[in-house]
Amino acid sequence: MHQLICRLAALAAVAACSGNYADYYNPAVAHDGRDGFRNNYRAVAPSGFWKWQWERWTRGLPAPAPPGGWNFPVVHPDVEFLRGNHTETTVTWIGHATVLLQLDGKNILTDPHFGKRASPLSFAGPKRQTPVPLKLTELPHVDVVVISHNHYDHLDRGTVQKLARQPGGSPRFYVPLGLKPWFKGAGITDVVELDWWDSRAEGNLRIYCVPVQHWSKRGLFDRNQTLWGGWVIEARGAHPFRFFFAGDTGYSRDFRDIGGKFGGFDLAALPIGAYAPRWFMSPQHIDPSEAVRIHRDLGARRSIAVHWGTFVLSDEPLDEPPKKLREALKAAGIPGDQFLVLKHGETLRLAGQ
Nearest in space to 321 (alpha carbons), one of 334, 306, 336, 338 = 306
What backbone phi and psi angles, to 5 degrees, belong to 319? -95, 5
Q: Are strands 98-103 and 90-95 parallel, antiparallel or unpaired?
A: antiparallel
> Is the alpha carbon torsion for 65, 68, 69, 72 positive or negative?
negative
C-beta atoms surrounding 7 within 10 Å: 11
For the chain, 353 residues long, give each residue's pLDDT as a single digit of tens: 444 344 445 555 555 555 544 333 334 446 776 678 999 996 445 578 899 999 999 999 998 888 888 899 999 999 999 999 999 999 999 999 999 999 999 999 999 999 999 999 988 899 999 999 999 999 999 999 999 999 999 999 999 999 999 999 999 999 999 999 999 999 999 999 999 999 999 999 999 999 999 999 999 999 899 999 999 999 987 789 999 999 999 999 999 999 999 999 999 999 999 999 999 999 999 999 999 999 999 999 999 999 999 999 999 999 999 999 999 999 999 999 999 999 999 999 996 54
Q: What is the rounded CA–CA span in Å between residue 259 and residue 52?
A: 34
Helices (H), 74-179: 79-84, 157-164
Tell me the DSSP string of 249-285.
-B--THHHHHHHHHT-BSEEEEE-----SHHHHTTTS
Dihedral in degrees, nearest 10, Cα atoms 25, 27, 32, 34: -40
Nearest in space to 265 (alpha carbons), one of 306, 228, 234 = 234
Q: What is the rounded CA–CA span in Å between residue 311 and residue 308?
A: 7
The pLDDT assigned to 19 comes to 54
C-alpha separations of 235 from 169, 201, 202, 266 in Å: 23, 10, 10, 11
Q: What is the rounded CA–CA span in Å between residue 300 and residue 206?
A: 18
Asked whether 136 and 162 are in contact (CB, 8 A), the reply is: yes
Please, what's the b/e burial string for 100-116 (b: 16 or more CB within 10 A of its CB; e: otherwise)? bbbbbebbbbbbbbbbb
Helix (H, G, I), strand (E, B) or coil at 332: helix
Q: Are strands 36-37 and 241-245 parallel, antiparallel or unpaired?
A: unpaired
> Where are the chain's structural domains?
79-349
Nearest in space to 322 (alpha carbons), one of 301, 351, 343, 295 = 343
Domain at 79-349, CATH from 3.40.50.300, 3.40.50.720, 3.60.15.10, 1.20.1250.20? 3.60.15.10
